Amino acid sequence: MASFTLLVTSAPFSEQGAYSAYRFALAAAQAKHSINGIFFYQSGTLNGSSLQITPSNEFDLYAAWEKLSQQYQVPLMVCVSAASKRGVTTAEDAQESDNPHFSLAAPFESVGLGELATLISSSDRLLQF
């Protein structure tokens, strides 16, 4: 079986990329491949915002990422510097900057760009969406 790292640079609803990344990750996990991690970068960090409100007649990508992570133990890593530029912050980062609001919570985790290098080095393939 192959091991994958997914790099998601697409925002959740402005392009097809984030949804395609989810569908690939789900299919790979169901086929018993290893997903070492999904790294959200640039506009892709918006996938980690818990403030998304999805209409009831649309696919809830945020909830789908959560379920994928829990069901298949897939780490969801959000680049801290790219995310903070887009208003996606953890409770700790918000508190440190005297901001009363935050939008990043488990199972998404705030990490540095070095985590992407670690994921890539431990995977057979890197796929960008």
pLDDT digits (tens, 9 = 90+) for 80-122: 999 999 989 988 887 888 888 889 999 999 999 999 999 999 9
Domain that holds residue 79: 3-128
Both tokens assigned to 26: 């789900």
What rounded mean pLDDT belongs to the chain? 95
79 is catalytic: yes
pLDDT tens string 50-91: 999 999 999 999 999 999 999 999 999 999 999 999 989 988
Strand partners, 4: 35, 125
Total number of domains in the chain: 1
Q: Can you tell me the distance from the alpha carbon of 39 to that of 32, in angstroms, rounded to the nearest whole number?
A: 20
Which of the residues 77, 79, 88, 111 is marked catalytic?
79
CATH number of the domain bearing residue 68: 3.40.1260.10
The phi and psi torsions of 69 (rounded to 5 degrees) equal -60, -45
The phi and psi torsions of 66 (rounded to 5 degrees) equal -60, -50
Q: What is the DSSP letter of 26?
A: H
Model pTM greater than 0.95? no
Q: What is the DSSP letter of 44?
A: G
